[in-house]
Chain A
Amino acid sequence: MAKTTTAHGHELDRAGLSDDQLVAMLRNMLLQRQLDNRGFQLNRQGKIPFALGSEGHEAVQAGAAMAFARGRDVLVPYYRDLGLALGVGMTPFEILSSLFARDTDRNGGRQFPNHYTNKDLGVASISSIIAGHCTHAVGIAAAFKYRRESGRAVISPTGEGATSQGEWHESVNYAAVHELPVVFLVENNEWAISTPQSMQMKVANVADKAAGYGIPGVVCDGFSPIATYRAMHEALERARSGGGPSIVEAKCYRYLSHSTDDDDRTYRSRDDIEAHRKLDPVPRFEAVLIDAGVLDAAAAKALRQDVLRETNEATDAAEAQAYPTPQSLYTNVVAGDYRPWQEFDS
């Protein structure tokens, strides 16, 4: 792997990423953190009924998003993929429209926050049903293969808890048998609401399950965007060139409660969280880039301020939007005018 000797003399293993790409990843991570906090704040202010954070997943998602080929790949996200959504091109205004459930939300305010859709960007719509969408990721990959659209792949992320689901298993197995271009990214944050990994599986790593499907499985450091980028880039390139699916497990952590409706003090020790705080990927990556001379402290500060400004502007803009009309409840059930009882001119 090419290493760069920086002005400071520290070597940065940058996995082939340019300075601009490295800074883009940092910006994505800062924006994730800012938008995450904003969601929780708005909830505590009583302005929105629900929010869900990806705090602790920033590096995984910034790295995976950097490996995504815009205009070619498809992302079938799960509900904790704010950073992936941003990283593949969604805007803070879209995110906040969804948080505020406004008319400008592409789902028309129908879905929980974090359940995005943006077909133009290749972000597939999902339900809240854990792992149900993994089969869709496989189907999209099957369509790519059927149409001989090589150079395209699908990212199918989940948490580690989701890998207990039959549909996750069926998805990986189907993709393996049919050698489809899909990467199952597992964002292992150690918890599924209150259930620890040890209560989900007997193996130490989700990636170990790959052997049971006859496909590659790797573990990467989910606190490092570069490590996650490298693992995802390799898996996606293999998929895009006909090498079939793989599992990439990024070890990370969930710093916040599962959602604004959860209180993790009922099941998780503060010590556990504090221990992981030392690994916090956001300040750490900023320090790494400063240390490597990719940007200086002033530039990093400007980046943080810019992200805060963008978040504030998007918050105000989204909050000012109208709610979806009550009549919109009835649209898009099926194509056209929907009635279960059909009437004809007789």
Chain B
Amino acid sequence: MKPRHFIFLAAVLSASALAGCGKKEPPVSEAEVKAVFEKSLPSTVDDKVWERVPAHPAKLLLQDMVEPRLLQASTPFVRVQSVTDGRKVAFLLTWKDATLDDVPGPALFGDACAVQLPATTAADVPAPQMGEDGKTVEITYWSAIFQASVNGRKDDIHALYPRAAVDHYPFEAPSLKAGSPPQQEMAKRYAPARGAENPMAGPRTVPVQDLLADGPGTIRFAEKTVSSGSGKYSGGGWTVLLVRPLPNGAQPGGRTQVAFAVWEGSRQEVGARKMRTAWIPLSLGSAQ
């Protein structure tokens, strides 16, 4: 087979894999992400509504502007669908990924994705790369590692290395009643990031984090994560649902901008090393 034919076939195969076996292909919205108005938002990635919500094929670009950069392209595009109920907006992100990466460890990184919106809807949009000074962006970040712990994987070395042998954890000494407040308090002291209330450290109830940024390198945790989501790996790719509040000034029937990012864990993509989109117009449907 000539290489060009091979590429064509690969493209057809990937498109059908993304669509999911036996699922109805949704209509395409080339120019923008259309958030369709629905009275209630879908709560799963398998909701029937996704069969009729227009899909925008968002082209992913290398983050090659600031160090550390990504210099080798990986995930080429992400398919985006969106629904709004006038208060919140849901995004369904679907992309192809040959490897499921949800285990943390040295040199191990999880698959992940994120959606970014200007914190305030205005004609003058922030820079697409994480916003800029005085023009904040709001980000909702989903990680396969978070998803695995929400799905029930224990925060324990044996969940990652089943044959690990540990002699003793001081905070699990027999003299301490398991689960008692003093025991919990002590366990926290032995998990520095948890002690510092870092949302990276769990315990976790949702697989997403709400973040804010005013430019590259300025990302910070929102006061509270109010978004929710869920991700599912099947058919050689991820489908991730992100549900978050509409940002300030984004009205039903109005327009704003949205951007996305995807990290391929097996390629050690993390932080700034990512595939991302430019701003994409987002039209918000209304009840009328």
Judge: A and B partners, yes or no.
no
Interface residues of A (CB under 8 A from B): none
